[in-house]
Each structure stands twice: as C-alpha cells, then as structure tokens.
Structure 1
C-alpha cells in the first residue's frame, strides 16, 4: 500500500528542517537600566525632566530638599574649626602669661619654704637649750615639709608649661581633627547626591514620585534606560554548542514583518529552565541558556522595553565562528 505525503505534512517537514538550520528563539527587547536611590527622606523640590525624555550624562533629573543636611554641614564645619583650634593650641604650647604666673607662684613658694626652714632652725636651737617643748619643734618641722611640698609642686607646674605638650596629646588632637573632617566630607558627599544626575546617556523610563512627595530612604527616584537595545532570548541546550558570541542573527518584533540585523553579544554558561513564554513543543522540559542579541546601528531605541521578539540565528555562521 502506497503512502502519499499530503501538502500540510510537507509544510511541517520543511518547517522542521528550517528550525534545525535557523532556530527561532523567543525573548523580549531589553536595555540596561540604571536606578537612582533617595539618600534621605526629604521632599522633592524640583523635577527637571519627564518620562521618555532623552538625557546626557550629568544632566539634572530632580532635587531633594537640602535644608536639614545644610544645617548638619554647618555644625560639622564648626566642629572642624574647634578641633583645629585645639590642635593649634597644643602645638603652640602655653601662653606667656601662664608661664609668668607659674614662675611667680614658684618664687613665692620658694620664699615661704626658706622662711619655714629658718623658723625650724631657730626652734631647733632653742630646743637644744631646753627652753621650749618637743611639740614646738615638731610643728616647725611640719611647716617646713609643707612649704617645701608647695615649692616642689609649683616647680613641677612651671616645668610642665615650659616643656610643652606631650606627643600623645598632639596625636589625640590630630586624630580628633581628622575624624571631624571625615564626617564633614561624608555629609558634603551625601548632599551632592540630593541632586539626582544622569550617570550615563539614556532615556528616562520612569519617575515614580511627584513634586512634593517625600520618598523613603533607598526608594527609587528615577529609572534610566541606557546602552544599546538587545533581545534577551533563551537558547535550547540542543542548539547551545552551535551558537557563538558574534553569531549573526535577525530580530523580528512581534506584530511586525520588519527584521532587524543583530549579533550575539554574550551567552550564559549556566543553564536554566526554559521560561514560560518560550515553551514550545519538545523544548518545554529542557534546559535553556540565556543570551543577549544586540541590535545593530542603534536600531530599536524607540521601541518599548519588554516587547516580545523572535530571533533567527544562522547556525552555519555560528558553526564556522572560531
């Protein structure tokens, strides 16, 4: 009995051959995304762009209220000035007036000690002749020792002023100044980020907040799409070895007949299960490798991110790639 191959069966067979030679990969259009986060919970006082606007690197996007951090910066600057003054005082040593006063106290204490010694000597001489009591001599000795202690204390105070500050005190003052300067630098850096600037050329994808809103710290203030447009596709494990970085492909946007030239930019080495939107036939239960296919000549910059696409890659070119 002869078996006739019908026309639908022939179409399926041809499609199967085409699939093996030029696989159709499913995916979505993507662009790299940069997000700017809120440094503090402050009100938005200015918005300079709108969603969809094209940006250049360094362009202002929006600004937060800086009054609170400005007050903190003023306080930090005052702390730096105080620490600098303390260090200068330690390095210069004591004032001349303090040294002169210490010398005067030493001279007075020395005079008192000399007078106490003479009194003790007189009392001791009288005691030898037994004309006074032992208690009188003991009191004279006590007065002499107290006067000499005061003299020695005054001399030590003068030496401390003349010798200057200890190295430990200088290092402590320097460390205190460095810590206050670092705190000031951190506040000034944080204040710069209260004005959100575009990190790279790109296009504003979303600004979640409005003028006057007060986002929480760490909230996304702006999302920027940057870099070339690429298709993120998933390559079945059976075709992974045939595709290489640099392989030539064509991208067809879902709903359009136009095809855009593209090239494989990278391909993951670690496999993952095929995502739901790429489930087709026998490939549904197989592993797939995520790849990025970049559109050439800056094409697709006006297309929406997330648009479904079909990517056709030529296995013959892939196999011949080094």
Structure 2
C-alpha cells in the first residue's frame, strides 16, 4: 500500500511538471538572433594585397577595408585612354578636312599618273604602227594596250582621291567617328569604375563579420571578400507554431530572452512569412514536433545593449501580453 502511494505521488508530480512545461512553452517562440548582412564582392579576380580591418571591427560608411592588386586593370585603363586619344584625333581630322599639303601631294600624284598615261598612249600608238608593218608580234601590241589601260586606271584613281580631299568629309564619316569615340569613352569609364572597386570600401556603417580571404589569396570574380553586419539592432528569427499563427499580427510586441543577459529585450514583429515551413530541430518539443511553423522576424529596439549582440545565438521570444497574463 505504501509503495502504491509513493508511485501515485511520483506520477502526480510528473504530470504537474509536464503541465507547467506546456503552459510555459505555450507562448514562447524559439529562434536565433540575426543581423542584416551585406556582402561586398570582388569585381575581378586579383590577389588581395592589403587588409586594413579585422573581424569584429566597427567600420564607417565608405571606409577602406581591403585592396586587390590593381596593376592589370590599371594597364587596361591606360590602353583605353590611349584608344580614346587616337579616336579623338581621328575625329578632329575628319571635322577639319585635309591639310593644304595633303591636297598638293594628291595633285602631284594626279599629274604623275596623267604623264604616265600620256607615255603609255604614245607607246601603244607606236606598237600599233609597227604591227601594221609586221615588224613586231601581236603580243607586243597586247602588252602596250594593257599598259595603257593600267595608266588610265591610275589616273582615274588619283583624280578621285583629289576630288575626295577637295569636297571635304562626308557627314556619315563624321557620325561613324563620333560613335567610335563614344564607344571607347564608355569602355574607359567602365574600366575606371572597376579600378576604383579594387579598393574595397564599406557600403554602409556596420561591423565586420567575415573576411574569408587572406593577403595573397586570389578570390574568384564575384566572390564575397567582406561580409558586414549592419543596422542599429539585431532581429530575432523565430518560428510561430500553428496554434499561435491566427492571432499573431505584425507590430506585436515581444520580450526577447537570451542566456547570459540580465534582462529581456523589447522587440516588435516586423515580418511573418505567408508560407509555412517545417519547424527547425531546435524548436521541436512534445506534440508540436510534427506541426508546421511560420518564420517571423522580431526587430529588437535599438539601444546601447543591443548594438553589440552577436549573431546566431539562441533566443526565446514571449508575447508581452502573455507575459503580463
């Protein structure tokens, strides 16, 4: 009889503890503290030459964080600048037209071609006369005809070149020159932006969370070289069970408890996912283990105590109304 009484007492105590646990857990949401993260990618694959910060440092907006080797990109910028200068000079030449010396040289070339054509005609006439007498072959006459045609073609070419210089540059040629120059200038501007990004600056004020590469490493193009935690305060990423989802709204106030913190932190529900997800392993308990949960983000009120809280630590969120009740 005494053993039966002791057994009943143990069972009653266990049921009481289980009931208290379920009651305490009814309004508690489990999750982790997180910060908004910004990743700064590598514009090109170049070795890291300098790292000016370390993980955990607080940095200001536009502060220099690290430097990638700029020599290759600087050479490309220099080549693009030379190409812009060349195309700019060519466009100026098109706009200003030919120089007087160039026109004089073209006239002299035409006179030389005309003189050659005159001599070729005389030679052809002599060959034709001799052929009539039967003193030369037909091949000699054919060669003289070919020489005359070639001399006339050279004369026509020289005359066309002179006419082109005298009539000036066509509008279409100037338009093509302007387009080529604009393309070269755009390429130069793009390379200059890439060169400036080899000096990696903080895009926002925050705290350095991760520096995955060391001096001498060559990150791949697009790889994150710096990860920053930004914002005035972290947020709690928690999971809302099905039993609480219907009554939980954005703007609800919570108390966030963290192991090691003397007092809970105030927080506000910012976002609640519209689609459910399976409850993560650290939020599984009892009958709730098989239920769906909705991910929610609770923004902690910014203060001196919250600005240095680390990311990833477990936390517990309790609705402020539930706590008072």
Q: Under TM normalisation by the shorter chain, which class is it?
A: 0.7 to 0.9
Conserved 8 A contact 1:247-1:313? yes
RMSD: 3.6
For structure 2, list consecutive stretches of 5 or more residues without a partner in the other structure. 1-7, 136-140
CA distance in 1, matches of 2:148, 2:226: 83
Local SS of the residue matching 2:236: strand
* 2:305 corresponds to 1:302: no
Alpha-carbon distance, 1:291 to partner? 0.6
Match of 1:197 among 174, 198, 201: 201
Q: What's 1:41 paired with?
A: 45
Q: What's 1:216 paired with?
A: 219
Residues 215/109 of structure 1: CA separation in 2 closer, same or farther (3 Å cut): closer
Q: What's 1:67 paired with?
A: 71
Alpha-carbon distance, 1:11 to partner? 5.8
* 2:241 corresponds to 1:236: yes
Local SS of the residue matching 1:243: coil
Conserved 8 A contact 2:55-2:210? yes
Conserved 8 A contact 1:38-1:215? no
Residues 134/99 of structure 1: CA separation in 2 closer, same or farther (3 Å cut): farther
CA distance in 2, matches of 1:145, 1:303: 93
1:79-158 equivalences under 5 Å are 79-107=83-111, 133=132, 151-158=155-162
CA distance in 2, matches of 1:134, 1:160: 45
Conserved 8 A contact 2:53-2:66? yes
CA offsets 1:8-32 (integer angstroms, 9 cap, x no match): 6456546545655xx1000000001
Q: What's 1:258 paired with?
A: 263
Local SS of the residue matching 2:219: coil
The alignment's TM-score, normalised by the length of structure 2, stands at 0.79
Match of 1:50 among 54, 60, 73: 54
Residues 289/134 of structure 1: CA separation in 2 closer, same or farther (3 Å cut): farther
For structure 1, list consecutive stretches of 5 or more residues without a partner in the other structure. 122-126, 318-322
Aligned residues: 306
Alpha-carbon distance, 1:275 to partner? 0.8
Conserved 8 A contact 1:44-1:63? yes
Local SS of the residue matching 1:297: coil
